């Protein structure tokens, strides 16, 4: 299959860019050929979005709502096609692919409802004055999406930005551009007006930088690595444009001694190995209170050995391929460093092609690289804590602060410790991998700026304007 750019309501061949091969990470075969934008196409997309944004902002909420609902219907009707794209170009296992495709439908429907809930305020201030705080769209928003949840994380930006009255230019990840095409097909099929949504796959250098640096782009919404996010923040801040950044994580799960070990193993296993650990909120540090440390280590390693690695299209596959071979070498290096410093490799630590075996290290300590560095693969570290306070200390000893878990049956302790854990999200008695289309999803420290989901996204994609109306003669000092 060959896929074009989507600019100003039309499917177009690239002229100043090139046609790229979109590779299947499972076997390195060509999944699709995709037109990548060059400078002229990026300019055309931004100009189209700039022309379209005021008419779109003035479009009644009910009409925006209907378009997003129709896009959701298209996504639901084509869910098999969408899931096949996710399996083919991102290595998503069968269950993950259908989960993501279904979540995409939910995001579009949630965003449709938000079209009618862009709320402001009316305040009574001075005598004879009405004081209004209006929430208004920004203008043109650029979105830069990642490869791991390419559909879901792009739509979180696109759908809510459109609901708030903005127009959009999307750069999907270079490794997963066809997921962006699915969004364009859904919106085009729903009758989105020309220029309101534009799709420009391409490299970060050719497309991403142009979007960030163009003054007509009023906000950049990004999900990806902390290093790239830091660069976006630096460039955007010079131009005083808004940005939201959902970045890396080294997410801890704290297991206290009163919690059932068998249940903890299942929670930790899902959080660590879902989508072969290629998730910003995957459980990469298991901090276990000393009395249950040894039994948990043995049970968890045994559970990891049961997980099937293989063809993403098979329904019982848990671990699919990593997106690129280079990530396997990074994980190898982290494991070698940890083992050389005293960590015990309990299972895994090998790979064939892009398929990495689920890997468990125990006795990991802060002098090892893997204690602090992201792995972005099916590898997790077990760390011993003396008590609950020590567990929180180990939890917070990291530059990241995205998601976290706390497993305990002591509700008072859970509520108290959750406030001390330095993370944007704390899940008590559940996995670090958790999401919902209406919650405030996001992190602290080097994990991000801003929140995504429901009304929190509407806040991000709008700005406030204060308007007063004096309905009696103004009382002035002179």
Catalogue the active-site residues. 246
Closest residue by Cα to residue 362 from 288, 303, 255: 288
Question: Taking the C-alpha atoms of 315, 318, 323 and 325 in order, what is their torsion angle to the nearest 10 degrees?
Answer: -120
Closest residue by Cα to residue 457 from 73, 137, 232: 137
Can you give the C-alpha Rg of the chain in angstroms?
24
On the CB side of 182, how many CA atoms lie within 13 Å of its CA? 30
End-to-end CA distance of the chain: 73
68 Cα distance to chain centroid: 20
310 Cα distance to chain centroid: 25
* Residue 347 to residues 246, 323, 344, 466, Cα–Cα distance (Å): 31, 22, 9, 60
Element (H, E) at 19: strand 18-23
Return d(Cα 289, Cα 391) in angstroms, integer.
7
* Residue 310 to residues 63, 87, 98, 162, 179, Cα–Cα distance (Å): 45, 12, 17, 38, 22
Residues with Cβ within 8 Å of residue 351, at least 6 apart in sequence: 322, 328, 331, 332, 357
The strand pairing partners of 137, in sequence order, are: 462
On the CB side of 142, how many CA atoms lie within 13 Å of its CA? 29
On the CB side of 254, how many CA atoms lie within 13 Å of its CA? 29
The answer to whether 250 and 400 are in contact (CB under 8 A) is yes
Question: What tokens appear for 38 in the block?
Answer: 């060059």
Closest residue by Cα to residue 154 from 169, 139, 138, 136: 169
Is 239 buried (19+), middle (13-18) or exposed (0-12) by CB count in 10 A?
Answer: middle
Element (H, E) at 12: strand 10-12
* Residue 141 to residues 293, 335, 438, Cα–Cα distance (Å): 48, 40, 20
């Amino acid at each position: 299959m060959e896929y074009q750019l989507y600019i100003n309501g039309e499917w177009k061949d690239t002229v100043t860019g090139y046609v790229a091969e979109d590779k299947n990470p499972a076997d390195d075969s060509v999944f699709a050929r995709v037109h990548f934008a060059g400078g002229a196409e990026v300019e055309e997309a931004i100009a189209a979005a700039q022309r379209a944004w005021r008419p779109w902002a003035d479009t009644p909420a009910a009409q925006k709502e209907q378009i997003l609902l129709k896009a959701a219907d298209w996504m639901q009707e084509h869910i098999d096609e969408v899931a096949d794209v996710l399996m083919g170009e991102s290595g998503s296992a069968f269950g993950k692919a259908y989960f993501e495709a279904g979540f995409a439908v939910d995001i579009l429907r949630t965003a449709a409802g938000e079209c009618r809930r862009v709320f402001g305020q009316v305040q009574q201030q001075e005598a004879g004055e009405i004081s209004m705080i209006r929430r208004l769209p920004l203008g043109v928003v650029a979105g830069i999406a990642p490869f791991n949840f390419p559909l879901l994380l792009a739509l979180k930006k696109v759908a809510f930005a459109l609901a708030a009255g903005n127009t959009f230019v999307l750069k999907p990840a270079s490794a997963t551009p066809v997921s962006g095409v699915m969004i364009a097909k859904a919106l085009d099929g729903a009758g989105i007006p020309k220029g309101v949504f534009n799709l420009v796959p391409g490299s970060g250098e050719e497309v991403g930088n142009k979007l960030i640096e163009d003054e007509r782009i009023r906000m950049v919404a990004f999900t990806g690595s902390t290093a790239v996010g830091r660069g976006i923040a630096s460039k955007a801040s010079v131009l005083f444009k808004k940005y939201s950044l959902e970045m890396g994580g080294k997410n801890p799960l704290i297991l206290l001694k009163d919690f059932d070990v068998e249940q903890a193993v299942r929670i930790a296993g899902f959080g660590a190995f879902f989508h072969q650990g290629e998730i910003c909120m995957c459980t990469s540090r298991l901090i276990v209170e000393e009395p249950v440390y040894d039994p948990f280590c043995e049970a968890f390693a045994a559970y990891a050995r049961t997980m099937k690695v293989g063809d993403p299209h098979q329904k019982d596959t848990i671990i699919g391929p990593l997106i690129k071979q280079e990530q396997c070498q990074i994980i190898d290096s982290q494991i070698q460093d940890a083992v050389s410093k005293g960590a015990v490799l309990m299972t895994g630590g090998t790979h064939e092609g892009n398929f990495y075996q689920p890997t468990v290290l125990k006795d990991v300590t802060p002098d090892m690289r893997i204690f602090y560095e992201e792995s972005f693969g099916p590898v997790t570290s077990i760390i011993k804590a003396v008590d609950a306070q020590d567990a929180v200390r180990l939890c917070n000893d990291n530059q990241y602060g995205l998601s976290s878990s706390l497993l305990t049956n002591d509700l008072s302790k859970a509520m108290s410790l959750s406030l001390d854990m330095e993370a944007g999200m704390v899940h008590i008695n559940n996995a670090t991998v958790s999401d919902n289309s209406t919650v405030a999803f996001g992190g602290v420290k080097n994990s991000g700026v801003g929140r995504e989901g429901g009304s929190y996204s509407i806040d991000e994609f709008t700005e406030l304007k204060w308007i007063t109306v004096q309905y009696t003669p103004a009382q002035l000092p002179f």
